[in-house]
Amino acid sequence: MTLDNLSIDEMQSRLITLREEHRDLDDAILRLSSGPYINELQLRRLKKRKLFLKDAISRIETLLIPDLNA
């Protein structure tokens, strides 16, 4: 399923879900990096996922901007 096939309501719902996951990853990264033993591989994977989510959020936000020429 592509973003182009989603309704505005579906995109807004997806945006909320992505933002929640992004925020949860912030917490997980903070906990993991503040512990006595840091799993670098897991930390890199979480950061990569967080970046992927940030890009997905940006794409949806761009699609939700109304077209002023319409």
Q: What is the pLDDT of residues 17-50, one digit of tens each?
A: 999 999 999 999 999 999 888 999 999 999 999 9
**Is 69 within a domain?**
no
Tell whether 8 is covered by a domain: yes
Question: Is residue 51 in a domain?
Answer: yes
pTM, two decimals, is 0.82
% of the chain surpassing 70 pLDDT:
90
DSSP letter at 12 equals H
Integer Cα distance of 56 and 26 in angstroms:
16
CB neighbours of 29 closer than 8 A, spacing ≥ 6?
Answer: 43, 46, 47, 50
- Residue 7 is assigned to a structural domain of this protein: yes
Our count of domains for the chain comes to 1
Please indicate, yes or no, if residue 28 is contained in any of the structural domains.
yes
Q: Give me the residue label for tokens 């996922």.
A: 49
What range defines the domain where residue 46 resides?
3-62
Q: Give the count of alpha carbons within 13 A of 56, CB side only.
A: 19
Domain-located, residue 30: yes
